[in-house]
Amino acid sequence: MKPLIIGNLKVRIPIVQGGMGVGVSLSGLASAVANQGGIGVISAVGLGMSYNLKGKYSKQANIDSFRNEIRKAKKLSPKGVLGANIMLAVTNFDELFKVAIDEKLDIVFVGAGLFIHKPTTVTTEEFLNSNTKFVPKISSARAAKLTLKVWADKFGRLPDALAIEGSKAGGHLGFKKNELIKGTQSLHNIVRETKIVISEYEKEFGVTIPIIAGGGIYDGTDIYKILKAGADAVKMGTKFVTTFECDADIKFKEQYLNINKPKDIVLIDSPAGLPGRAVNNDFLKSVAAGTQKPVKCVWQCLKTCNYKNVSYCIAEALFNAANGNLKDGFAFAGTNAYKAEKIQTVKEVFDELISEFKYIAAKNRNYKQKYDYAVCVSA
Ligand SMILES: Cc1cc2nc3c(=O)[nH]c(=O)nc-3n(C[C@H](O)[C@H](O)[C@H](O)COP(=O)(O)O)c2cc1C
Ligand code: SF4
C-alpha cells in the first residue's frame, strides 16, 4: 500500500478509521489507529453526554470534552496522525470546528450536509491557510462537483481531500431511503466519476486532491479493489468496532458478534432527518412498531432534529448503546458487521488487512504476468 499524501501530511498506511459517535471512537481507538500508521479519528458528536451525570451536560460540556479527548489522544499517540469527524448537523458545529483548529489536529472530516460555508468561529486566514486539513464527506460525484465549485468560487481554494462514503456504510447515510432500497451506484463507480470531476480542478489549481473511500470496506481484498478503482485511501468504521481499543462498551461490540445474518442489519429513519444503518434489536423494533419513547431534549444538539415530534432522542439512544445499555438504545453498523467473529487489537486488524492486501496484490501480479491482459480481481 502506498502512503496517503495530503499536501504536506504523510500517512504511512492509507487506512482512515471513520469517526463514530456517540462515544464509539474517542481517544482510545483514534490513538491506537494512529499508532499503527493510519489516521485515527475522534467523533465530536455528543461528547458532552458523558458529562451528564456530573450535572454539566450542555453545549459547553460537549466542547470541553472534545478538547479533552483530542489532548488525551495526542498524549497516547504523539507522533501519529489524528483527526476528528464533525457533523454539520450538530448545533455547535462552528465551535467544535474551532476547537479542532486551536488544538492543531492534523485533519477534520465534515459530513452530514454539504461543507460549503466557512465556520463563523474561524478567521478567513485560518480557513484558507490552516495546517489542519479539511475533508468534506460526500456520497456522489454530483456533490463533489458542487463542493469543489463552491470552494473554488467562494474561497479560492479547494478542500485538501474528499471522503466518499458509499451506501454500505454504518451510521447516517448520504442517500435517500428509497435509493437505498432500490440500490445505489457502487462505491467503485462513485470513486471513478468523482476522479474525473476532481481532475479538472486539480489542473486549474495545480494541486492533488486525494480520495478517501469508505462504506463496506472490510478486508484486504476490499482495500485492493477500491484502490484499483482510483481511491488513494480507505475509510473503515465497522471493522474497528470489534477491537479492544474501540471506546464503546463490550456489550456494544457483542451486538456485532451476535448478528446471525446480513438481514439483522437494517435501515432506519433517524430523528436526525437522515436514513441510517444499524443492528436490529428490540429497541428499534418497538420504534418501528410505533412506540413513543420518553424524549427529554436537554438541549437542541442537532439542527435537524424536531425534538417535539421525534419518537426517541437519538443522542440518548446512541449514548446508552455505547455505554452498554442496549435496552434503551441501538448500535449503528455497516452491511459487513455480520462478518465480525472476534474482538481483536487494532494492531491485529492492521496486520491482517495488510497481509490480505499483499496476498491479493501478489496474486494479481502473477496473473497479469502470465496473461498480460487482465486482472483477475475485477472491481
Ligand atoms: C457505530 C458507527 C457510528 C458512526 N457514527 C458516525 C458519526 O457520528 N458521524 C459520521 O459522519 N459518520 C459516522 N459513522 C460512519 C463512519 O465514520 C464511516 O464512514 C463508516 O463506518 C464507513 O463504512 P463501514 O462502516 O462500512 O466501514 C459511523 C459508523 C459506525 C459503524
Ligand atoms: S431530542 Fe434531538 S435535539 Fe434534543 S437532545 Fe435528543 S437528539 Fe438532540
| Per-residue model confidence as pLDDT tens digits over 270-318 | 888 889 999 999 999 999 988 888 888 877 888 888 888 899 999 999 9
Judge if the beta carbon of residue 113 lies within 6 A of ligand 1: no
What CATH number should be reported for the domain holding residue 200? Answer: 3.20.20.70
Residue 69 pLDDT > 50: yes
Tell me the ligand closest to 297's alpha carbon.
2
| Domain membership flag for residue 230 | yes
**Do 97 and 257 meet the contact criterion of CB atoms below 8 Å apart?**
no
Supply the pTM of this predicted model: 0.95
Q: Is 76 helix (H, G, I), strand (E, B) or coil?
A: helix
What's the mean pLDDT when you consider all of the chain? 92
Between CA 178 and CA 347, with CA 170 as vertex, the angle to 5 degrees is 160
Q: Is 124 helix (H, G, I), strand (E, B) or coil?
A: helix
Q: Identify the CA nearest to 18 among candidates 240, 270, 194.
A: 240
As for how many domains the chain has, the answer is: 1
Q: Identify the CA nearest to 45 among candidates 270, 344, 283.
A: 270
Q: Strand 133-138 relative to strand 162-165: parallel, antiparallel, unpaired?
A: parallel
Q: What does DSSP assign to residue 288?
A: H
Residue 379 pLDDT > 50: no
Between CA 287 and CA 274, with CA 246 as vertex, the angle to 5 degrees is 35
Q: Which residue is associated with the grid cell 470541553?
A: 64
The mean per-residue pLDDT over the stretch 319-323 comes to 94
Residue 57 pLDDT > 80: no
Predicted confidence (pLDDT) per residue in 196-248, tens digit? 999 999 999 999 999 999 999 999 999 999 999 999 999 999 999 999 999 99
CA of residue 86 to ligand 2 center, whole Å: 16
Per the structure, the complete domain to which residue 55 belongs is given by 4-251+339-345
* DSSP one-letter string for 3-71: PEEETTEEESS-EEEPP-TTTTSSHHHHHHHHHTTSEEEEE-TTGGGGGGGGT--SHHHHHHHHHHHHH
Tell the residue nearest (CA) to atom 3 of ligand 2. 300
| Domain membership flag for residue 362 | no
CA of residue 225 to ligand 2 center, whole Å: 39
Judge if the beta carbon of residue 43 lies within 6 A of ligand 1: yes
Judge if the beta carbon of residue 315 lies within 6 A of ligand 2: yes
Tell the residue nearest (CA) to atom 1 of ligand 1. 332
Tell the residue nearest (CA) to atom 21 of ligand 1. 237
CA of residue 205 to ligand 1 center, whole Å: 31
Between CA 78 and CA 82, with CA 81 as vertex, the angle to 5 degrees is 90
| Cα–Cα distance, 264 to 285 (Å, whole number) | 11
CA of residue 25 to ligand 1 center, whole Å: 9
**What are the grid coordinates assigned to 282, written together?**
428490540
| Domain membership flag for residue 215 | yes
| Cα–Cα distance, 62 to 45 (Å, whole number) | 8
Predicted confidence (pLDDT) per residue in 70-102, tens digit? 999 999 999 999 999 999 999 999 999 999 999
**Do 13 and 36 meet the contact criterion of CB atoms below 8 Å apart?**
yes
Judge if the beta carbon of residue 136 lies within 6 A of ligand 1: no
